[in-house]
Amino acid sequence: MREDSTPPPQASFSVLGLRKYREWTTLEQYDSDGREADMLLKNGSFYYEKRLVPGDLRVTGDTITAFSPQTVGGLIPFANEEVLELGGAAVIPAFLDIHTHGAVGVDVNAASAEDFEKLACFFARQGTGSFLCSILTDTEEQTERAIQAFLDWKKLPHAGADLLGIHLEGPFLSPKHKGAMPESLLRTPDYDLIAHYQEKAEGHIRYITLAPELPGAIELIPKLRALGIVTALGHSDADYRTTEQAIFAGARAATHTGNAMRAFDRHEPAIFGALLASEEVYCEMISDGLHLHPGSICLYLQAKGLDRAIAITDSIMAAGLPDGEYMLGVNEVVVKDGDARLKHGDARAGSTLTMARAFRNLRKFTGRPTAELVPLLSENAARLLGEDQRIGSLTPGKQADLLILKDDEIHRVMLRGAFCNFD
């Protein structure tokens, strides 16, 4: 069984209890050990200004309120302040996953409010502090139902990762590179449809994937921006020039780069080449070793730099569960050896990846130190979504969502200033 395998049945708890990468069978009810008071994290190695810096960090309520490098003396504990001695352990921001279709038996397209909470709790176990839920191309009725479930979740008290909003993967995609998208439900760009969805979502659609070569797609991009939606290019057969035009119009990301898009050719670099060449575009990467060869990941990082690459999971409901048969939207999916493919056809259908495993894979695939990989896992995605003033780094004034590492493995998780419990 995979190390991030099946979680226990959902339970009600104030702060999520975590178990470190091992199988579990029960989930006890935990009380929060976080305090609405000062907490000093002492003698750690904190991700600060693109590197790990020895020092101290103070959390007040749900906010990071101070950081001091040890070179300037560190922070002196307040009276009655809880002090956590870190002994040099590394501390990095919690992860941000902007592309996931589900996990632990939950498919976003069919999720209830309670299902979204189940996802939030599982993702927190994997070090994820925030995420977008990705709605696969579906009927208008089912898309609206998923949007409503998200709104219902927002009304509930919840623990675990924060669900920031909605990613629409489609329906304006190329049938030539549809991947797991149901071809019968693909459409040409339609502003009125997205405006309708955004009204239904009360402004919570944050991100959309479209194919720029479709009629009206490029003209749609600035209109989407006006609706508060970031455009990603993907599931596309676009040529190089068309992709450049889409980027000029305001597209700022690439959906699972190198997958479900026209391939690079030395005579026609196509969409793939234009995305790697652009200084404006953030490139999503599925770092599971299946969607991208490790060498491809290294190439992407050389092309994009460490500030324009984003690690995602593209996970489906099978993430955290054993091999078997699952659903992805309207699609039947078979998972074998952790590899998810359409039951009828050979196309990959998302992944079974978690952000914790993506972190480990990136270290293994690239050989880069943790500090260099942090932007891929949190900071870059926060900046793309315009959330970088609130989350994504350990800067004072930002929300206290952080991970304490031991030997480069997640040891403890703090969300909104409260530690999650370990056994």
* CATH code of residue 404: 2.30.40.10
The single residue listed with the structure tokens 């502090």 is 129
Task: Classify burial at 137, counting beta carbons within 10 Å of its beta carbon; exposed 0-12, middle 13-18, buried 19 or more.
Answer: buried
- Residue 118 domain-assigned (yes or no): yes
Structure tokens at 296: 């491809």
Nearest to 175 by CA among 115, 229, 235, 215: 235
Residues 145 and 287 in one domain: yes
In a domain? residue 88: yes
Q: 204 and 150, same structural domain? A: yes
pTM for this entry: 0.91
Tell me what pLDDT residue 28 has. 26
Q: 279: pLDDT confidence band, cut at 50, 70 and 90?
A: very high
In whole numbers, what is the pLDDT of the chain averaged over residues?
A: 90
DSSP output for 115-133: HHHHHHHHHHHTTEEEEEE
314 assigned to active site:
yes
Note whether 127 and 356 are within 8 A (CB).
yes
136: pLDDT strictly greater than 60:
yes
pLDDT category of residue 40 using cuts at 50, 70 and 90: very high
Q: Which residues of 33-52 are buried (b: 16+ CB within 10 A; e: fewer)?
A: ebeeebbbbbbbbbbbeeeb
Kindly indicate the confidence band of residue 4, based on its pLDDT and cuts at 50, 70 and 90: low
Tell me: cis bond preceding 171? Omega within 30 of 0 counts.
yes
Residue 421 — very low, low, confident or very high, per pLDDT cuts 50/70/90? Answer: low
Residue 329 lies in a domain: yes
Q: Assess whether 126 and 88 both reside in one domain.
A: no
Q: Are both 103 and 121 inside the same structural domain?
A: yes
Question: Is 46 in the same domain as 108?
Answer: no
How many structural domains compose the chain? 2
Query: Are 310 and 330 members of one domain?
Result: yes
Q: Are residues 64 and 122 in the same domain?
A: no
112 lies in some domain: yes
The Cα 352–Cα 362 span in angstroms is 16
Q: Which domain holds residue 397?
A: 38-93+392-422
Residue 277 parent element (H or E): helix 270-277
Q: Any idea what the CATH number is for the domain that residue 291 is in?
A: 3.20.20.140
In a domain, 25, yes or no: no
Residues 329 and 271 in one domain: yes
Q: Which position among 314, 339, 408, 423 bears the catalytic label?
A: 314
- Please write the tens of the pLDDT for every residue from 45-103: 999 989 999 999 999 999 999 999 988 778 999 988 899 999 999 999 999 999 999 99
Does residue 18 lie within any of the structural domains? no
Asked whether residue 300 falls in the same domain as residue 317, the answer is yes
Structural element, H or E, at residue 68:
strand 63-69
Question: Does residue 127 sit in the same domain as residue 218?
Answer: yes
Asked, for residue 19, whether it belongs to a domain, the answer is no
Do 208 and 84 lie in a common domain? no
Give yes or no for residue 11 having a pLDDT over 80: no
Question: What does DSSP say about strands 230-233 and 253-254: parallel, antiparallel, or unpaired?
Answer: parallel
- 134 and 182 in a single domain? The answer is yes
Other beta carbons within 10 angstroms of residue 363's beta carbon come to 15
- Which helix (H) or strand (E) segment holds residue 333: the answer is strand 331-336
The tens digit of pLDDT for each residue in 208-217 reads 999 999 999 9
Residue type, 14: S
Q: Identify whether 53 is part of a domain.
A: yes
Count of helices and strands (H, E) across the chain: 10, 23
Pairing state between β 128-136 and 106-107: unpaired
